[in-house]
Amino acid sequence: MNDLLIKKTTDFFQETFGDAPEKIVLSPGRINIIGEHIDYNDGYVLPAAIDKIICFAFAKSNSKQSKIVAIDLNEEFEVDLTQEIVLSEVVWTNYILGVIKQLQDKGFSFEGFNCVFSSNIPVGSGLSSSAALECGTIFGIKELFGLQIPKVDIALTGQKAEHWVGINCGIMDQFSSVMGLENKVIKIDCKTLEYEYHNADFNDYSLILFDSNVKHSLMTSAYNERRQQCEEGIAIVKSNFPEIKSFRDCTEQTIIDLKDKMSHDVFRRSLFVVKEINRVIQACETLDNGNIELLGQLMFATHEGLSKDYEVSCEELDLLVDLAKAETAVIGSRLMGGGFGGCTINLVKKGQEQQIKDKFSKLYKEAFDIELKIYDVKIGNGTSLYEGAL
């Protein structure tokens, strides 16, 4: 599948600019096995890069002008690197402009370039096509102009670009897009950026994403509200236990002991955060021991918490997880990402994938009159140069 994408992108570059590209960059989307809504709560996350990618073809333009073509949208734009970079009304161009601006602000010097790109990462389904776009663009500019940018700095620069676009994201998406390794998940400490790889061997189970195909508008306001509630929660913890610095230093009992000092919502959000931080630690152990059934149970528990205590689910996602719970062939399922829509991530017994897909599609359509979208995912490498034959 990716070979076709690479060929299409390269051919398009050749037709548009008359020459072959100098660099081909592949930049992946990501999944998160477990560790949801805790990247901004000093927690750990357990993401991995996937085999769905944006493919970029780059060459120097040998002028001040840069021209970038989004093949999938049939749109293009030009930017003069000697002019001040400002936000545009065309959303996708801002991710590229943001990256250029961040690199310039960091003092990197580079000249005009031409770029075309095309993708098979579903957009806006929570697989972080935006991070793939940012990190792939940075990688391409780095390769074209020989800039010295360590991998972690590519992720941090991508994150800053996304902030500039107006989305106050954590570091997980860009970090996993850049640092991903085939068949590994990355445990990232969102507080220190320390990270470690664990084997992503799911034994007899396949990773399947069910895309609810909905996006409820609550998302942004709820996200901001949850952040505030968690800040309030940790502030209450700190004022009662000055030795505690963050949610990761808390036990569940710490939060329970403070129940009377917190509003009902702040209490439930805080308890979820502490439980979820512990689930990520346990999930790494299950992967190391090959206890995939237990990993599945942790995923179900995460969904329960996200739905009942953190309250970021919706009826479509809850149905998909309920359907999963009713099947012995599905040993784990949870909403993935911010919530209020997007995908569930599922561990489905090998050999029974098609039967589960057919059944869920039918039942989902009957319940909501919405088509279920389905993605098989494999864990792949982070942003890199394509050096195969063209």
Question: Which residues participate in catalysis according to the annotation?
Answer: 173
177 binds Mg ion (CB under 5 A): no
Residue 44 host element (H or E): strand 44-45
344 binds ligand ADP (CB under 6 A): no
93 binds Mg ion (CB under 5 A): no
Angle formed by the axes of helices 91-105 and 129-145, to 10°?
40
Per partner kind, with CB cut-offs from 5 to 8 A, the member of Mg ion, ligand ADP, none near residue 159 is: none
157 binds Mg ion (CB under 5 A): no
* Residue with tokens 């972080």, as numbered in its chain: 128
What number of chain residues touch ligand ADP (CB under 6 A)?
16
Q: Which of 4, 19, 105, 124 binds ligand ADP (CB under 6 A)?
A: 124
Encode burial over 48-63: b for 16+ CB neighbours within 10 A, e otherwise. bbbbbbbbbbbbebee
Per partner kind, with CB cut-offs from 5 to 8 A, the member of Mg ion, ligand ADP, none near residue 126 is: ligand ADP
Contact segment (CB under 5 A) with Mg ion among 7-15, 122-130, 153-161, 208-216 equals: 122-130
Contact segment (CB under 5 A) with Mg ion among 17-25, 120-128, 202-210, 298-306 equals: 120-128
Cβ proximity to ligand ADP: between 129 and 307 the closer is 129
Of residues 59 through 88, those in contact with ligand ADP by CB under 6 A are 70, 72-73
Among 102, 246, 76, 282, smallest CA distance to 174 is for 102
Among 336, 378, 331, smallest CA distance to 212 is for 336
The 128-147 contact track toward Mg ion, x by CB under 5 A, reads: x-x-----------------
Residues 188, 192, 196: CA angle, nearest 5 degrees: 35
CA–CA distance, 102 with 25 (Å, rounded to integer): 19
Least distance between ligand ADP and beta carbon 337 (Å): 7
Residues 150, 154, 157: CA angle, nearest 5 degrees: 130
Instruction: Report whether 307 contacts 313 (CB < 8 A).
Output: yes
Least distance between ligand ADP and beta carbon 116 (Å): 10
Strands 23-32 and 44-45, sheet pairing: unpaired
CA–CA distance, 241 with 229 (Å, rounded to integer): 18
Three-class SS of residue 179? Answer: helix
CA–CA distance, 64 with 77 (Å, rounded to integer): 14
Contact segment (CB under 5 A) with Mg ion among 127-135, 149-157, 212-220, 345-353 equals: 127-135
Per partner kind, with CB cut-offs from 5 to 8 A, the member of ligand ADP, Mg ion, none near residue 133 is: ligand ADP
Least distance between Mg ion and beta carbon 133 (Å): 9
Cβ proximity to ligand ADP: between 91 and 385 the closer is 91
Cβ proximity to ligand ADP: between 54 and 185 the closer is 54
Least distance between ligand ADP and beta carbon 188 (Å): 17
| Token pair recorded at residue 13 | 């570059």
Q: Which of 40, 92, 310, 386 binds ligand ADP (CB under 6 A)?
A: 92
Name 89's Cβ contacts closer than 8 Å, sequence gap at least 6.
Answer: none
CA–CA distance, 302 with 281 (Å, rounded to integer): 13
Cβ proximity to Mg ion: between 118 and 130 the closer is 130
DSSP state of 20: -
129 binds ligand ADP (CB under 6 A): yes
Angle formed by the axes of helices 91-105 and 151-165, to 10°?
130
Cβ proximity to ligand ADP: between 20 and 73 the closer is 73
Three-class SS of residue 112? Answer: coil
Least distance between Mg ion and beta carbon 373 (Å): 17
Cβ proximity to ligand ADP: between 133 and 345 the closer is 133
Binding site for ligand ADP (CB under 6 A): 54, 70, 72-73, 91-92, 95, 119, 123-124, 126-130, 133
Binding site for Mg ion (CB under 5 A): 128, 130
